[in-house]
Each structure stands twice: as structure tokens, then as C-alpha cells.
Amino acid sequence: MGNNRRDFLKLTGLLGTGIMAGNPLTSMAGNVVSQYQPLTGAPHFNMCGYAAPKLDTVRIGFVGLGNRGSAAVPRINYIDGVSINGLCDIRTPQAEAAKEKLKGSGHNPVLYAGKKDAWKQLCESPDIDVVYIATPWELHTPIAVYAMNHGKHVAVEVPAAKTVEECWQLVETSEKNKKHCIFLENCCYDFFELLTLNMARQGFFGEIVHGEGAYIHDIANSFFNKNARYDYWRLRENAHRNGNLYPTHGLGPVCQVMNINRGDRMDYLVSVSSNDFTLAPLAKEAAAKDPDFQQFANSQFRGNMNISTIRTINGKTILVQHDVSSPHPYSRIHAITGTRAAAQKYPLAGRIATSHEGWLEDDAIKKLEEQYTLPIVKQLGEMAKKVGGHGGMDFLMDWRWIDCLRNGLPMDHDVYDAAAWSVIGPLSEKSVAGRSKSLDVPDFTRGSWKQNKPVEMSITHGNLTGVK
């Protein structure tokens, strides 16, 4: 199958010349035709709703101990039923510092550090069940594929992949090995997002018509901070790619509400980017002060704002925005519009409306919160806020996937979500490069979206994972 797939990709222009080369295929009518579908008859096991055998103790190995990974290690230490057995980073001091945070906890992880491919040894270890990947983006898919091929579940930071082909690699590897590719989209576990999810499930909004999400976060100056990220990896991403590079924080919660991959799926998108008005001047300024930044002085940086619009098979629409270099207040937008009601978070706190006359008063919203707050929030919300991690949503996310593994439950977000949400990145790049041409979004479920069941986060089992 591997050789045939490679031949297929050569024919479609996805291998060798890359997805950015050439024009998309078109039909006689001029409509864009997808060139990203897998081979007909490729091996397929539906991972949506799949429950892996229970793990009494979830043995975790962490790869990447920078900003996200170093915060995840002590956070997961609060959760019972976990053994942290491995810590990996190319920088030995980072691995040692993470181990120091576990001093006196009972965890005694092996350190895999100092070499670029040290993560392979961690993935091969028989003492690890789950590989938690929090590396620079370019390593997400290679490590995840290698780990799943060595019998491990993986938990992957966002985005899970950078190219269309990498998305297919994740899907096919997860299916082949029947190993979970858990997508660590923490914003799906923020409190208002979970509230709107349950309200949608209970029919409060009526038929969902439209959703909006974003990642608008001014982190431009941090790109030029030598201590912020290893080898300026995120600056490199923004210096060579133009599109929505980070779509999933805003898109994930909206897709969850709209049952994407579970009754509906994304059909096609168009994307447009502004010019860059910020990063190039910052790069030139940094290069004048420090020769390390000369390599970025003439880069063609991505535009300040990218706007991508998606239409679903069932005729719904989604708007996703991305801007990391304008002095705008932080926003993920999270807007839901239905036939009976609407909700929106950012720039203000979460608001709900049932007519065009305005948002409901605070007292009315509090009553809705009492009625629709999910059990996971009622049970763990206050604890999550104390532990932290973006206000508690990181802790809820980690507690949930660990609890699912310990109880043999399906994952809230599977490999199809990881692929579909992440693929908006490379598709947006190609659309922008083609003057906002329409591009099909691949059906990573290969038709299973028609039968897949919506995400449910009700706690109905008895063996609850505890917290320390």
C-alpha cells in the first residue's frame, strides 16, 4: 500500500513538488476538485467512538519540555492513576528541570535528552503507554507516527500536522495500529465553550447555522526573544508560511458544537491574508541589534490578519481568524448562531441572546449556567482553576483524556478531528497563494461522518479518575 500511495501522491502533485506547487485540479464547470483523497480501498478502521482496552495506570512519556511541556508535567502530577515514566528534550537542562518539579511525587522518570532523536528511544520504551508531544510543530507528526507504530497512544499539541500529507499519515497510522491520536485542543475545555456545547446538545440554539472562532494574540515581540522558544522555531513558521497557521483554538470548539465529523463535515474553504505590517519591521530592527536575526531580515512574513471561511456539507458556515502580530486584545471569538439563540465570547465575557433585541441580563445567564453546566465542570471546575493552565481548561483536558483511557472510553477528540482541524493551516496557505481560490477539505473519515455519534462529555461511569 505504501508504494501505491506514493505513486498516487506523485500524480496529484503532493509529493516532490509539494502542495504549494501548481494549480488545483478543476472540473469542466470550473469548480475546484479535491486532489487530497486517499486511495480507494485503503485500510480503514473507524477510530471515532473506539474504546481502547482499559489502563489501570496510564504511563506517560513527555517529548518537548518548553513552554507547554514543562507546564503539563506538574499539572498531570495532580491526577491519580498516572505514572510519569519518561522526560525528553534536546536540551538536557530542560529535562532535568522537569524532573526536579516531580521531586517527592513518587514519579521517577527516565531522562531522554541531549540528542535530536532521543525521542525515538522514549517511543520505543516498553514502560510507556502514551507519548505526550509538546515540541515545535514540525515534529508533531513524525513523533506521533513513530510512537503509534511502536504501540503507543499519543497526545499531540496543536496543530497536529503542517501539511495535508501529514494529516493523512496520522489518520492511517492511528487506524492501522488502533492507537488513539488524542488532540490536545485545550480550548474545547474552557468553561463557556463547554457550556455552549451542552446547550447545543440540548437544542437550546435550535439548528446551528454559523460559528466563528479565532486566535488573535499579539505575541510578535516574543518571536524575537532568544529565551522564549528553541531556535526561534515559531518565528521561522511565520517567516515562511502565509495563512492561518494556528486554526484549532478557535475552530475546535465550533466544530464540536456543529458536530463536524459526526453528522456533518467541512466541505470547502476560501482564505485571504492581509499584508504584513509588523513582523518585517521588527525583524529588521532585531537584525540591526543582533546578528543572530540577520537570517530573518529579508523574510516574506505572513500577513497580520488571515480570514478563512468554511462551508460544511450541510450548508453551515464557519469563520476563522488568525493574527499574532497586531496590538489587539486577546480573542478567540467563539460565536455560535442558531435558529433560536446565539452566544458569543470575546471581547467581553460569554453572552447569550434569544432574539435580536440584545444579550440576556446576568441573572438570566446565571440560570442558564446552572441548567446547562456539564458534570465535568461541576465536579472539577474549582479544582481546575486552582491547578491552573489557562484558567483551568488545560487541567480539565488532561483529566478527561486520562480518565477515558483508565475507563476504556472513546476520546472526545480523535485523529479525524486532529487532521480536519489542523488541515485548515496548509489549505489556507494554498488558498491565499492562489488569490483566495476555493479548496476542498479532505474527508478524513472516508464517509464515516454520516454515522459517527456527537461528542458527549457526561460522566456516567463509576471508576472516576481522582485528583491529588
Average confidence score pLDDT of the chain = 91
Report residue 466's pLDDT band, with 50, 70 and 90 as the boundaries: confident
Q: What is the pLDDT of residues 381-433, one digit of tens each?
A: 999 999 999 999 999 999 999 999 999 999 999 999 999 999 999 999 999 99
pLDDT band at 456 (very low <50, low <70, confident <90, very high): confident
Domain range list for the chain: 58-184, 187-373+414-450
Domain pair 58-184 / 187-373+414-450, same fold: no
Which segments of 181-242 are extended strands (E)?
A: 181-183, 208-216
Residues 319-368 pLDDT 10s: 999 999 999 999 999 999 999 999 999 989 999 999 999 999 999 999 99
Q: In the prediction, which pLDDT does 23 show?
A: 31
Residue-level pLDDT at 10: 33
* Distant-in-sequence, close-in-space partners of 366: CB < 8 Å, separation ≥ 6: none
Strands 110-113 and 181-183: unpaired
337 to 177, 209, 317, 342, 453: CA distances (angstroms)? 39, 6, 10, 4, 22
The phi, psi pair for 88, rounded to 5°, reads: -135, 130
Q: In the structure, what pLDDT confidence band is assigned to residue 464 with cuts at 50, 70 and 90?
A: low
CATH of domain 58-184: 3.40.50.720
Determine the pLDDT at residue 3.
38
Using the predicted structure, report yes or no on whether residue 18 has a pLDDT greater than 70: no
Rounded Cα distance, 106 and 101, in Å: 11
pTM: 0.91
Nearest alpha carbon to residue 397 among 264, 265, 253, 218: 253
* 297-326 mean pLDDT: 98
Does residue 48 contact residue 414 with C-beta atoms inside 8 Å? yes
Block residue for cell numbers 470547502: 268
| CATH number listed for the domain at residues 187-373+414-450 | 3.30.360.10
